[in-house]
Amino acid sequence: MSNNFSPLAPIMSLINLSGPVKQRAPIWVPTVMVMRVEDLPQELSLPVLNSTGCYVAIGLPEASDQRPYVMCGEGRNVGQRLMRKIRDSDRAWHWAVIFGCEQPGWFEAAGKHLEWRVNSLLEHAPHLDLVIGVSPWRNYVSEEERRALDAYLVEARRQLVSMGHRFLEPPVLERDAVPHTVAPAASRFDFSEFLKPSRLSSTPDPMMPQEPFTHSTGSEGGRGPGLKAEDPIGTRYRLHYGDLQATAEKLPDGTLLVHKGSEVSAIGATTLPRYIRQHRATLLETGVLKPHPTDETKLVVTRDESFENPSRLAKCLTGSTQGAGAVLRTCTIDPSRRI
């Protein structure tokens, strides 16, 4: 692995380890790793990958008009956990970031808490699309442990910035942006876009972890938050994928109803799962989908149609392996003109 992506040495001056540590430390010193996914199998023997930790996987989309996508998780054996998630995913993943700790007394709940905090940061990053599985819960640690772990996250983010990686940092105004060194890409994938701060809004302290945002609904046609498992019944969504026009809403039984008139990609990616290809074929055979009258690259939904889960809906609409949280955004929809 390139030296540019080696773990940053823990700052041991932050904590006194002169004797055996039998209690959980009041300050946790982060060990942060950034690596290419293809290098992960060769690094699995490292201690930080064989203990509790939080991971972030980053993938680059196939289309230039789509945003990079990320997933966040945790595990008692974080390296093996990440390997399983990558193996079971239908997406291509290019980079992995590991948040761990090599101090005695590091505990499983710490990884769960970090997952919750990092997940919140990623969920509201305007330059990334978060792939949602099961949204993490907050209540894993005591208030004292929470403060220690929040301080851990502040230091971990400082380490990432010092390494040239700024994808966890909140947006800054163009005039506030400071020059930074871009870490060289170690493969054919260009990682530089992740290192640039977004220029949408300002924040008083770009280092401090942010509390979760309150879920809100965007204006019609605007880009609201991505679909989440805990969205309330009746939440409306608009598809953001190329020039496809489609809307949907969450029903009382938890399914998603795609509205009549929504557009579907007529082209399916070669990596599309077989069950999705079969579902799309069935919708065509039964007349739920028909060719678009003016655009041969699209199909049209002929009647309101329900889908049992968001992932199936997103893949059927886009003909791609994009996750629902990446392409379905909350919005307000005028019932008289859903599209």
pLDDT digits (tens, 9 = 90+) for 64-109: 777 888 999 999 999 999 999 999 888 889 889 999 988 878 888 8
DSSP annotation of 243 reads T
Give me the mean pLDDT over the 1-15 stretch: 39
Q: Report in angstroms the alpha-carbon separations of 252 from 249, 275, 297, 332, 338.
A: 10, 25, 33, 18, 19
Q: Identify the residue with better confidence: 56 or 274.
A: 56
Q: Report in angstroms the alpha-carbon separations of 267 from 19, 92, 250.
A: 63, 19, 26
Residue that the structure tokens 């309330």 belong to: 232
pLDDT surpasses 80 at 250: yes
Q: Which residues, including other chains, have CB under 8 Å from residue 214's CB and lie 6 or more apart? A: none
Q: Is the dihedral of CA 244, 332, 59, 313 positive or negative?
A: negative
pLDDT reported for residue 164:
72
Is 264 in a helix, a strand, or coil?
Answer: strand
pLDDT digits (tens, 9 = 90+) for 186-230: 223 344 444 444 333 333 333 333 333 223 333 344 457 888 888
pLDDT digits (tens, 9 = 90+) for 156-183: 888 887 777 777 876 543 333 333 333 3
- Euclidean distance between CA atoms 95 and 93, whole angstroms: 6
pLDDT reported for residue 210:
36
pLDDT reported for residue 338:
54
From the DSSP assignment, how many helices (H) and strands (E) are in the chain?
8, 13
